[in-house]
Amino acid sequence: MNFKALWYVILFIIMVVWGFNVVAIKILVQHFPPITMQALRVLVAGIVILLILLFKKSIRKLTKRELLYTLGAGLFGVLGHHFFIGIGLVNTTASNGALILALIPLVTSFLAVIFLKEKLTTFRIIGYLLGFLGVSFIIIQGNGSVTGISKGDIYMLGAVVTQAISFVLIKKATTSLDSKLMTALMIIFGSTLLLGISQFMEPIEITAFTTTSSFIWFIFFSSAVLATGIGHMLYNTAIHHLGAAETSIFINLTTFFSLIGSALFLEETINAIQIYGFIIIVIGVILGTGTVEHYLNKKRNKPTSVISAN
């Protein structure tokens, strides 16, 4: 197996892990107070990444500019994103949550056009419209009106927007800062704040952590260490070796495996509306993130910008 093929296999495995991680979080919020669980889960991931960087001696002092972007990314990408996911998955299905989260690359691309002055093209406009159409199918669930929108779906949309904002901040910071170091620091900062908030919103439920089974703890640490910690580090490394365009193609598999996991482990019914919405969102992501333009311009030897999903 050559070097490139090896990274394709690694990316495929990461997408399987990330897809099932949505199912894992859905299970965890049924056993733990959601905000506290998210804070502890992500904090463990941040500590794992930091320990790996310390072992590799990859820690350095941040400049004032890098620090501001890192703190901002922590506020939106960790505090905001994981707060909304925790509350959202309490109030919606894992399959719906995964499908809505599939919009993250598309919303990131849209924000990049606004704040990073990236070119707005016909492909991207079509992609944005398709993404909006696809998620509309999902959250309305075929009821024919907005009365079909659940509170959990709205929270999941909040998770999409906050994560997309954080990716724009990460894009600005990582022009000079290693993405793995920024990831570790923003995760630790954001999850610490989230843990503080959880003490006000869930002051008594912390006792739930002392009565759960060892299997649920296995899911907790697998989600924290494998999916959030090691998974993000490997994905960032794949971007370095393969480029954002090739790497971002794989992100669509995450939603596919989330749907499979929801059906297998949670016995959720995947209906036709969700399948149609998924297909439309995937097409929208491919068009809206500039992936098609990248490969067309690559044939013409022209540089282009592709928004990474992470």
Q: pLDDT of 77-98, one tens digit each?
A: 999 999 999 999 999 999 999 9
306 in a structural domain: no
Q: In this predicted structure, what is the pLDDT of residue 204?
A: 67
* Residue 91: domain span: 33-299
pLDDT in tens, 277-298: 999 999 998 888 887 787 777 7
Q: What is the mean pLDDT of residues 124-145?
A: 80
Cβ neighbours of 90 (radius 10 Å):
16
14 in a structural domain: no
Q: Is the pLDDT of residue 145 over 80?
A: no
Q: Give the predicted TM-score (pTM) of the model.
A: 0.88
> Residue 74 half-sphere exposure, CB side, CA atoms within 13 Å?
25
127 in a structural domain: yes
Q: What is the mean pLDDT of residues 209-235?
A: 92
13 in a structural domain: no
Instruction: Kindly give, in sequence order, each residue whose CB lies less than 8 Å from that of residue 95, ignoring residues fewer than 6 positions away.
Output: 258, 259, 262, 263, 268, 270, 274
* Residue whose structure tokens are 């979080």: 25
- Which carries the bigger pLDDT value, residue 32 or residue 247? 32
* Helix ranges, the chain (H): 3-28, 34-55, 64-73, 81-91, 94-101, 104-115, 122-140, 151-173, 179-201, 214-221, 231-242, 244-249, 252-265, 272-288, 291-299
Q: What is the mean pLDDT of residues 303-307?
A: 54
- Number of separate domains in the chain: 1
Confidence of residue 306 (pLDDT cuts 50, 70, 90): low
- Structure tokens of 187? 């995760």
45 in a structural domain: yes
278 in a structural domain: yes
Cβ pair 289, 126 in contact under 8 A: no
Cβ neighbours of 137 (radius 10 Å):
20
Residue 29 vs residues 90, 110, 112: alpha-carbon distances, Å: 6, 31, 32
Residue type, 152: G
Instruction: Kindly give, in sequence order, each residue whose CB lies less than 8 Å from that of residue 246, ignoring residues fewer than 6 positions away.
Output: none
Q: Is the pLDDT of residue 250 over 50?
A: yes
CA 289 – CA 285 distance, rounded (Å): 6
Lowest mean pLDDT among 82-86, 146-150, 157-161: 146-150
Q: Is the pLDDT of residue 310 over 50?
A: no
Q: In this predicted structure, what is the pLDDT of residue 117?
A: 84
Q: In this predicted structure, what is the pLDDT of residue 304?
A: 55
Residue type, 3: F
147 in a structural domain: yes
Q: In this predicted structure, what is the pLDDT of residue 309?
A: 44
Q: Is the pLDDT of residue 276 over 50?
A: yes
Q: What is the mean pLDDT of residues 142-149?
A: 50
Full 3-state SS string of 33-67: CHHHHHHHHHHHHHHHHHHHHHHCCCCCCCCHHHH
Q: What percent of the chain stands above pLDDT 70?
A: 92
Whole-number mean pLDDT of the chain?
88
Q: What is the mean pLDDT of residues 247-253?
A: 80
Lowest mean pLDDT among 238-252, 261-275, 277-291: 238-252
> Residue 283 half-sphere exposure, CB side, CA atoms within 13 Å?
13
307 in a structural domain: no
* Residue whose structure tokens are 């922590």: 74
Q: In this predicted structure, what is the pLDDT of residue 143?
A: 46
pLDDT in tens, 47-62: 999 999 999 999 999 9
